[in-house]
Amino acid sequence: MRPSWDDYFMQITEVVKTRSTCLRRQVGAVLVKDNRVLATGYNGAPKGVPHCEEVGCLREQEHVPSGQRHELCRGLHAEQNAIIQAAVYGVSTSGSTIYITHQPCSLCAKMLINAGVERVVYKGDYPDSLAINLFTEAGIKVVKYGEG
């Protein structure tokens, strides 16, 4: 049976996340418009910077709980990398949907709002309720995959 578009793009996020170099949580993101992939992203260190799997996790070393102190991390989030990839190649994200293996954090939510993303489809939970509140205030449709 042919998968729905949401099923199709969520399956792609699962492949994208396999490129992640984060030791805590592997996340994949796919930006889509008109049922076409615009850009992908996974969490990991910036280009040219050693990855956590090489030098260890700063967040683990500093005992930073999940969902807090996002700035204390070597890596970029999957959503950030997808937005950056689109920008590098001159691809507009306005009016797009992002599919993500995990709910975005509040920092990524703000970036997605300003990038013109209109719909967020995520699978796994993340301990950051501010993100959902920001999406609601901005009028962005948020769907937890599997719940409609």
Task: Give the residue numbers annotated as catalytic, written as ranges.
Answer: 79
Query: Chain-centre distance of CA 76, in angstroms?
Result: 9
Three-state SS at 7? helix
Q: Which residues contact 34 (CB under 8 A, 6 or more apart)?
A: none
Query: Which parts of the chain fold into alpha helices (H)?
Result: 5-16, 52-55, 58-61, 78-88, 106-114, 129-138
